[in-house]
C-alpha cells in the first residue's frame, strides 16, 4: 500500500510549498483538493495552465495524485445549488486527465440542509434513496463521459450509511466507473464497537472487491464518523489493514482527520503497522 494524506491537512501558501511539505513527511501520494491550488474544491473553471502547473509540481516531487475531492451534498434540498455543483463536478472530471488523476471522491449526501456530514432522519426514507440513486447516476454519467472513477464513501451520517447499502448502490448503478472509498472508522453505528471485527468483516465482504482508495483515520466512539489521527482511537488497525491486504488492496492508504502537528506520529504508526503485514 502507498501511504498518503489529504493535501488540506498540510496547509501552505502555494501549491508547490504544500507538496514540498507533504513529501518531507514521507508521503507517496495525496488525496488532492483544488483549495490547495487557491481554488474552490469544485471550481467554475480550471484552465490548462493551472493543470500543467499542478501536474508538473507533482511529477517533480515524485508524488502521485491518488484522487481528488469532488464532494458535495448530492441530495441537497436546494436543487438549484445541487445542479450548480454537478456542473462544477463535470468541470473537475474533464480536468482530471490533465491534473494526473482518475479518481474523484464523493459522498452519498444527507437531507440536512446545512451540513453534508450531519445525519437527518429523512436519510432512511425511500424518497431519499431514490433521489440519491438519481444523483449518483448523474455523477456516473459524468464519469463515463470523461473516463474517470467516482468513488463514494459509506458514512454513518449519510444516506449510504453501511456496507450493505453501499453494495446495494453498486448493484443498482452497475458501472465500472463507480467504486468505493473504504474507511474503517466510518461504519460503526451506535452499539457496534463491541462487534468491531464483525462490522469490519461485513464491510469487506460487501465492498472489498470495489475499493478505489482507502482512508486511515480513527474514532473514539460509535454512532458518528471517526475524525481523529490513526492510532489515537479504538479502531483495530491490525485487523483493518489485514482485511485490506486479504482483499488484494495494494493502493493508496490516505490519512486524514488530524492536525498537522500529529502527522509525524501518525506516519510512524502507519508505517509500523504496514511493515508488520509483510
In this structure, how many other beta carbons lie within 10 angstroms of the beta carbon of residue 201?
A: 15
Q: Is the pLDDT of residue 278 over 80?
A: no
Rounded distance between C-alpha atoms, residue 145 and residue 164, angstroms? 28
Closest CA to 222 of 197, 193, 242: 193
pTM (2 d.p.): 0.96
What pLDDT, on a 0 to 100 scale, did the predictor assign at position 113? 74
Give the range of the structural domain holding residue 120, as residue numbers without chain letter.
2-277
pLDDT digits (tens, 9 = 90+) for 36-92: 999 999 999 999 999 999 999 999 999 999 999 999 999 998 899 999 999 999 999
Mean pLDDT of 223-228: 84
CATH of the domain at 108: 3.20.20.150
Q: What is the mean pLDDT of the chain?
A: 95
Q: Is the pLDDT of residue 104 over 80?
A: yes
Q: How many domains does the chain have?
A: 1
Bridge partner residues of 228 (DSSP): 218
pLDDT digits (tens, 9 = 90+) for 261-276: 999 999 999 999 999 9
Mean pLDDT of 107-113: 87
Mean pLDDT of 10-18: 97
Q: At which residue does the C-alpha cell 456530514 appear? A: 117
Mean pLDDT of 152-169: 95
Q: Is the pLDDT of residue 116 over 70?
A: no
In this structure, how many other beta carbons lie within 10 angstroms of the beta carbon of residue 264?
A: 11
Bridge partner residues of 69 (DSSP): 105
Amino acid at each position: 500500500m502507498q501511504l498518503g494524506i489529504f493535501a488540506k491537512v498540510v496547509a501552505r501558501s502555494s501549491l508547490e510549498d504544500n507538496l514540498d511539505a507533504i513529501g518531507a513527511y514521507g508521503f507517496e501520494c495525496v488525496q488532492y483538493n483544488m483549495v490547495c491550488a487557491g481554488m474552490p474544491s469544485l471550481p467554475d473553471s480550471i484552465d490548462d495552465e493551472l493543470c500543467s502547473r499542478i501536474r508538473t509540481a507533482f511529477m517533480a516531487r515524485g508524488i502521485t495524485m491518488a484522487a481528488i475531492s469532488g464532494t458535495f451534498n448530492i441530495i441537497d434540498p436546494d436543487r438549484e445549488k445541487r445542479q450548480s455543483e454537478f456542473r462544477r463536478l463535470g468541470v473537475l472530471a474533464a480536468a482530471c486527465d490533465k491534473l494526473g488523476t482518475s479518481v474523484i471522491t464523493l459522498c452519498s449526501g444527507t437531507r440536512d440542509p446545512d451540513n453534508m456530514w450531519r445525519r437527518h432522519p429523512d436519510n432512511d426514507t425511500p424518497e431519499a434513496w431514490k433521489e440519491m440513486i438519481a444523483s449518483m447516476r448523474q455523477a456516473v454519467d459524468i464519469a463515463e463521459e470523461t473516463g474517470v472513477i467516482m468513488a463514494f464513501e459509506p458514512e454513518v451520517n449519510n444516506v449510504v450509511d453501511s456496507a450493505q447499502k453501499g453494495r446495494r448502490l453498486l448493484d443498482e448503478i452497475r458501472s465500472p466507473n463507480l467504486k468505493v472509498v473504504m474507511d474503517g472508522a466510518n461504519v460503526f453505528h451506535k452499539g457496534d464497537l463491541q462487534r468491531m471485527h464483525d462490522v469490519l468483516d461485513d464491510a469487506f465482504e460487501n465492498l472489498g472487491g470495489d475499493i478505489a482508495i482507502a482512508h486511515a483515520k480513527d474514532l473514539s466512539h460509535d454512532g458518528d464518523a471517526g475524525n481523529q489521527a490513526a492510532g489515537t482511537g479504538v479502531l483495530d488497525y491490525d485487523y483493518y489493514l489485514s482485511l485490506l491486504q486479504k482483499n488484494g488492496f495494494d493502493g493508496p492508504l490516505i490519512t486524514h482527520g488530524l492536525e498537522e502537528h500529529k502527522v509525524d506520529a501518525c506516519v510512524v504508526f502507519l508505517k509500523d503497522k504496514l511493515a508488520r503485514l509483510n
